[in-house]
Chain A
Amino acid sequence: MLVLQVVLSGLLVGGIYALVAVGLNLVFGVLRIINFAHGDYLMLGMYAAYWLWRHGVDPYVGILLVVPALALFGALTERFLIRYTLAAHAHVKIFVTLGLSIALQNLALLVFKADYLSVRVPYQTDVWQVFGLAVSVPRFVAFVAMLVASGALFLFLKKTDFGRAIRATAQDRDTARLMGINVDAVHLMTFVIGSALVGLAACLMLPIYYVFPTIGIEFVVAAFVIVVLGGLGSLHGALVGGLVIGVVEQLSGYFIDSTLRQVVYFVVFMLVLAVRPAGLFGQRGAEEIGLK
């Protein structure tokens, strides 16, 4: 029973990881950049939702404002920063988003100080008892929202013309351009979707986690692990990877030692990179596309 409870909370934590990882994976698959600042967008979203809560807006209602705000911020960074790195040297691609991450974290430190902030909402500590297992309500809400958001994204990519354009660009940027796809618009839209998804994640996480300037690091590192484990450019890979990492983290935290829980998933990460860098569900060779 106890093991089941640990696995369940692992799945719920993993759902949140997956929500962050799906956006990161999409941006990676299409733009071929590793966005180190992805977690800091999450942090900005959480501060925005926190600020709204201070002005009487419930975090779940705040989704309506935070998601568009993050989408706009994503659009601005893509248009005025990321776009100029796409054709640049490898080191420019890696370090521009790292510089953005450092700048955003320190900006948050400057504006909001290093304090740990959290909201107080009535449903925060609510727990449902299901077959003797405790299910935290805000975590369950986050999990369901993650499934809905990923399902919607999946359908968008599969069924709509713009979704097909995104997938075509992910497969081959130059050929997509030759087929008349506006690749710049695809890049912009992809980055907007990725940023909007972390905006959603931020509002859903605010009732569960404290917000502080470096909160993004923890989640973006987990998201990197998930993206690599699940497979580059594979959405369902990101979902499965998120759940696996959540369960692995909770189980190792419970049975081995809570300080070592991160070590376990980092080791998993390194082993995957060492043996099959394309990940479990990724196409073989995906890790080499677009590196030159």
Chain B
Amino acid sequence: MTVATVTPTTAPTGAGAPAPVRETRSDRIVMICNYTALGLFTLAVLYPLVYVLSASLSDPKNVVSGKVWLWPVGLSVEAFKAVFDYDSIVSGFGNSVVYALGGALLATALTLLAAYPLSRKGLPGKGIIMALFVFTMMFSGGLIPTYLVVDRLGLLNTRWAIILPGALAVWNMIITRTFFQSTIPEELVEAAKVDGCTDFGFFWRIVLPLSKPIIAVNLLFYAVAQWNSWFSALIYLTNEHLFPLQLVLRQILIQNNFDPSQVRDTAELIRMKELQEQLKFSLIVIATIPPLLIYPFVQKHFVKGAMVGSLKG
């Protein structure tokens, strides 16, 4: 930050003069540089996404020959139609919806059940229980021992293997606990107790209705994490009918593994061979849409969640 030494030689305003303070020239230059840098950076982030979207909508010939670099050239939605003829993509999409919904519900329930008691003051043993949770963030048994546990429980090749092992994220639990601590005053608990309310009743009738934002954050966070995960499916599942979308995507996009048996119609198959490269672009677009569609609506909540955890955790 050597630039910091470039202080303006002209004092902004006369001493003792109250605001408004006029911007000095160097300040204005800094401001212009800042806006330009932010703009360039934003374009750099945006470009790959725009390119893939344009390529997916273009005529495959134009993509291969490099005519497409920003806007679609020779509009074509063939590749999008082809995606829906590929069986494992369709079943993967369905499986991913199941994993995302089921996983989010289960994980959110566990998170709330852990976070609320641990947010209450004066619960004997709270410190030890909290330490038990936090320790797992710093140390874990590792990949192989976890696999052996899942195997031992007989969960291999079941949907539970995808949902259960990662059901609770300790970080989310800490954020949720902080939310409870800062929004549910201890006096409220005491007042409810005086009125004869039990802990269960208080949690169900008062805490949960007051915690809609944090419940939404948890649901969305877990759903997106589950939607995007693929590694647990890779090691726990061998039955292709249970594969989530991400695992199917990995086969097609990264391993370049195009399985003809997944397409029943032969005429369709020939057409698809031509589209194979194009298929990748449309697949990326389709796989990105569900999380990105909900994202602008929930961005505020995500940001809030991240802030609560960072400032008060």
Please indicate whether A and B come from the same complex rather than being unrelated chains: no
User: Which residues of B are in contact with A by a Cβ distance under 8 Å?
Assistant: none
